[in-house]
Structure 1
């Protein structure tokens, strides 16, 4: 998962907001406009400054203008949602007083202790105009067909009379043929115009289906790769479009549209590769009987992507705030404890000054001060190490060093921090080579951290077992203790920053150590794993590849 700073998150969110194709407006719980992107400003003909801080109903014609405040009040009182989470067609009111149709989707989002409402606005004026023109041309086509049929019947009747009376002239017959040809040409022109509208349908695909769901016409400026050549689908059935992910729902919706219930759904194709807004409405004849279906598919892939990016940015911001809160809490707690110990021990030593036979008491408090200073040093080292790792300032620097001397030095360094009567038992059952080529400081940081944890989470008098193996191409070691162990439900988060297991809350620690250990091991292309059972101890296994130095 990528981690962005607050500034980066705000910049990404602002970029998505400012360059979205559809209009985006957010309002607060009182209906006052908090933000308005450039696309929304262009739709309504306002500058954003003219709308910000004002009631959103200024963008609504009647009756929505008068009812909007009542709707918000009902929602706050009852929690009943009428349009939130459900897209629908409404009308917007431009600055110049004209109204236009739009498709509105509203979502509610809790943010910084309050609720905000986000409206995604898509202008469907062209769609409505196309639907109106399509209906007009359909009606003209039906009128032409009926006129052709009437004239054919009429001319056929006249021809029959002429044949019966043997008085119909050849000139009259030729005239009738020519008229009939003219009608047929008019019909073809009407059909051509109908197809031209479909072919040039903007930003989508327009289809006409008959009652058996067979495609009579399918065209538009949108190119759906899974469909291939759209004209090849004419004569096929919607049930054969297997690349639609929600095919069953789509077919069910088309069948319901044939009963007069319009279809309005979002669907994906090719395993979610693209997303479409699909609307289907029935087409009626002069007797108000449904004869065909008009289906409009609009590609909303980019819009959905923008919505997901906005949501991801909001979630990232929330995660960052939570991380900051955890850091402040942890740092405050961990610094307070050793500082309090240092202060109290220093005060007690001051009381013993000038007294005799109190050397043991003074030594006791001096050791407490040293231990607390060491704890503070470990905490600060953890914060500094994490900072360097996050900033990319920690790099891999291998050197040749004697592994046996390294182990003795590391155990000697950690000895004073062990609890009473604790000891580190080194198992050298496997052969160990003398010199290795690796990053000595990184390995020491990893080993000291693991040994410190083993001591911290084990009782006094318990042994900590350290197993070592250094082969030609790999260095491996295990650290095992008989301490409190790690609860099973917490083990999946063990390497997360600032994470503390539930049974370790009362034990000093920042929750950074194992996160830093894992990052060091990854820098060395190594691997770490562990096994643990609550109240029975924990074992960590580390393997690090080692190579021979190259001499250029």
Structure 2
């Protein structure tokens, strides 16, 4: 059995893919297997009887004897029983990466050390290639990210310029007409020969009215730009809308029907700012029906929001204009600056709400305002 075991061990050593080297306490090579010869390029005779440091590049070559001596004296292992990546050196002087696992073998006259070595050149090359590929990928991702950011910035700039063009066009329209009237009256006052006092007063009053219109446009634009942060609190939206509706004058041929449920949940908004929104919506609904009609106030709720609807029985909004009704200075009215809905949208965004416009299946427009429900104590919607 002993001879059979030795035969098996010899067969394993002879056929092992990894290099296996046996050294003594002084670092002298006692035996090597064929894989060691293939890996390092030395013959078996050139290695056996020589110090194992012959297979190491500097500086490990110069330090190996001290490493081995320190372990034999202290028993503190730096590599034995651990295994790690080290460098080897072939007969032709080329260095290569290898994984070395060392185990200690007690023998009758001391101890031997068996080292199992695997050449990891191909593995390191693959790792290096993978690292390079990752670096290339990261560089490409950074480049594409920068390109996307640049494109986004350019798109945002274009959108800002487009919005600026729309707003400036609206401002020009709203201001140019009053200025023309002012200019006409000023021309008359400067060039008329002995105008009657009542004529002078008429033109001065006209100038005063037109300057007031211009001031209103500028004030409204300033209000949009300087919209204060909301002072958020619990709000009974039904009571708020009812109180607003009571202050808006209606023609006798216009009815306002309140169908809002009395048990509607409270919302978490700035009540003062929200009142501006519903005042604008109710007035718009009234103005859309110069020949009379009905305004309906409805509401529904779920666990997170309250949805308020202001609808009318007027002609509705032309379909091609639905997407533009929230734009600053866009209006379908003969008189008006077209800022009411833009201000309303800005207010609702600051209060965590939304607004949408649509036409009803029968006739008339409907505006839906969605507001967050407030939770007592922490103000969390939901």
Which TM-score bucket, shorter chain as reference? 0.3 to 0.5
- Greater C-alpha Rg: 2
